[in-house]
Structure 1
Amino acid sequence: MSLTYEDRRMTILNQLDVEGKVQVHHLSELLNVSTETVRRDLDRLEKEGKLRKVYGGAVRMRMELVEPPFQSRVQMMKPEKMAIGKLAASLVQDGETIMLDNGTTTIEMIPFLKDKTNVTLITNSITILNLAMETFRGRLIFTGGEVNQECRAVTGSLADQMLDQFKVNKAFISAGGISLTDGLTDFHLAEAVIARKMMQRAEEVILVADHSKFGLSTFARVANLKDISMLVTDSGCPKEWIDKVKALGIEVRISE
């Protein structure tokens, strides 16, 4: 029985969500249809604004090339981020030193760290610093460096050099996009550099990301997906993605 366009459409878009791109010949074999049919489907999906055709296939539409303003991002996926933050904070053990990068998901960890008095927290995020000064009772270290007002964080060579002085138990990293082909990416090159350095200085790297980040590639590459130790995400994360991440040997934790 041949697949309808709607069936083929769903399969193509699911492939795009996981892989970030599709190839005509691969889809032809997967869907058991001619390459001409696949090309017509891709033409139709491009007109629908679901993808962009490239030589030999198509890639996902990159609608997130421009990051929303910080205050808008704080409110986006708020319940999911709070649940992820609570679960991520529970992974912090007494006596540990942790790094938090500048993300709207890592921020959500701070309220759940308030009782961990024997923990050292290092961050480059001005927002996390301000919130931690109000509620966190452990040791707090701010990296210093050049203030990036758009990102509300410090970046640049001074921050990078200071991070070199530390070796920590866990680094909690956020991402603008997560792709099997492009790995972890960020909207800002300066923040990608800092996140990568935090990963290098940690014994364990924990990615905190809500389900909306999967299948996206943004401007600046941070690291390969296989470079993380654990993923903490929400229940909206597609099973296909969870299976793919686990296949890389990465532990996955799902928040409630």
Structure 2
Amino acid sequence: MSLTYEERKHTILAQLELAGKVQVHFLAERFGVTTETIRRDLDRLEKEGRLRKVYGGAVRIRSESHEPTFMKRAQMHLPGKQAIGRLAASLIQDGETVILDNGTTTLEIMRALKDRTQVTVITNSVPILNCALEQFEGKVIFAGGEVNAGYQAAVGGTAHDLLGQFKVNKAFISAGGISLSEGITDYHLEEALISRKMMERAEESILVADHSKFGITTFAQIAPLGHISMVLTDSGCSAEWKDTFARLDIELLTGS
């Protein structure tokens, strides 16, 4: 007995949630239907605003084609980011040194660490540095160099060289997008390369991302999903992604 459109729709959207894209021929084989049937399904879903058709298949619709400004992003999904920040801070032990990359979720980690006197934070983020100088009672090291005003962070060779001098306990990495096929990605190559370097210098790499980042692929890859040991997210994380992380043997924790 063949699946109905509604049943196929659920599977198509679940695949988009994980991979960010679907292919007509793959879906036709999976469902045992013609490619024409799948194309009609994709036509209907595009009209419903659920996806965007491309050659050979479809991709998930992104709410932003370009990364919003840091200030705008700081207000998006803020309760979820604050919950993730508190959860991340609870995983940092006294005496540890951690790296925070440049992101609005990692900024919330810094805010949650304000009273921790026995923690050292290394960052290339100007907003995180400013927050630490105002509130943090521990030690902060700025991985400086050329500061990009658009990113509000230090990037380039000097920052890479300085990061290479450290070995830290944990790196907390943010993302522009997370997909099963492309892994952890960012909107900007320079920031992706810095985050990748931070992961190389850490004993453990932890991804921090609210649910809106899942199923999204942005411009530059930071790392495959298999390069992280843990994901911290909010309560909006879907069942499909929870199952995926379990299959990949990546620990998933949800902030509250």
TM-score grouping bracket, smaller chain normalisation:
over 0.9
Partner of 2:142: 142
Judge conservation of contact 1:64–1:218 (CA < 8 Å) in 2.
no
The offset of 1:48, in angstroms, is 4.0
Do residues 203 (structure 1) and 203 (structure 2) align? yes
CA distance in 1, matches of 2:198, 2:220: 16
Do residues 229 (structure 1) and 255 (structure 2) align? no
The offset of 1:62, in angstroms, is 4.1
CA distance in 2, matches of 1:248, 1:129: 34
Partner deviation per Cα, 1:26-69 (whole Å, 9 max, x = no partner): 32344443322111111233344433334432222344330111
Unmatched runs of 5 consecutive residues or more in structure 1: none
The offset of 1:135, in angstroms, is 1.2
Question: After alignment, is 8-17 or 68-77 more displaced?
Answer: 8-17
CA distance in 1, matches of 2:32, 2:255: 38
Classify the secondary structure of the residue corresponding to 2:104.
Answer: coil
Classify the secondary structure of the residue corresponding to 2:111.
Answer: helix
Structure 2: which amino acid aligns with 1:114? K
Classify the secondary structure of the residue corresponding to 1:128.
Answer: helix
CA distance in 2, matches of 1:194, 1:8: 40
Partner of 1:101: 101
Judge conservation of contact 1:23–1:58 (CA < 8 Å) in 2.
yes
Judge conservation of contact 1:85–1:112 (CA < 8 Å) in 2.
yes
CA distance in 1, matches of 2:43, 2:112: 48
The offset of 1:14, in angstroms, is 1.7
The offset of 1:206, in angstroms, is 0.6
Judge conservation of contact 1:65–1:219 (CA < 8 Å) in 2.
no
The 5 Å alignment of 1:173-184 reads 173-184=173-184
Partner of 2:43: 43
Classify the secondary structure of the residue corresponding to 1:170.
Answer: strand
Judge conservation of contact 1:65–1:187 (CA < 8 Å) in 2.
no
CA distance in 2, matches of 1:200, 1:110: 21
Judge conservation of contact 1:98–1:169 (CA < 8 Å) in 2.
yes
Partner of 1:15: 15
CA distance in 2, matches of 1:222, 1:177: 10
Partner of 2:243: 243
Partner of 1:214: 214
Superposed CA RMSD:
1.6
The 5 Å alignment of 1:31-110 reads 31-110=31-110
Do residues 117 (structure 1) and 117 (structure 2) align? yes
CA distance in 1, matches of 2:161, 2:79: 35
Judge conservation of contact 1:18–1:240 (CA < 8 Å) in 2.
yes
Classify the secondary structure of the residue corresponding to 1:105.
Answer: helix
Structure 2: which amino acid aligns with 1:122? I
Partner of 1:168: 168
Unmatched runs of 5 consecutive residues or more in structure 2: none
Structure 2: which amino acid aligns with 1:190? E
Structure 2: which amino acid aligns with 1:173? I
Do residues 126 (structure 1) and 126 (structure 2) align? yes
Judge conservation of contact 1:124–1:153 (CA < 8 Å) in 2.
yes
Partner of 2:158: 158
CA distance in 2, matches of 1:165, 1:28: 52
Structure 2: which amino acid aligns with 1:241? W
Structure 2: which amino acid aligns with 1:187? Y
The offset of 1:4, in angstroms, is 4.2
The offset of 1:244, in angstroms, is 0.6
The offset of 1:173, in angstroms, is 0.4
Partner deviation per Cα, 1:116-152 (whole Å, 9 max, x = no partner): 2111110000000000111111111001111111111
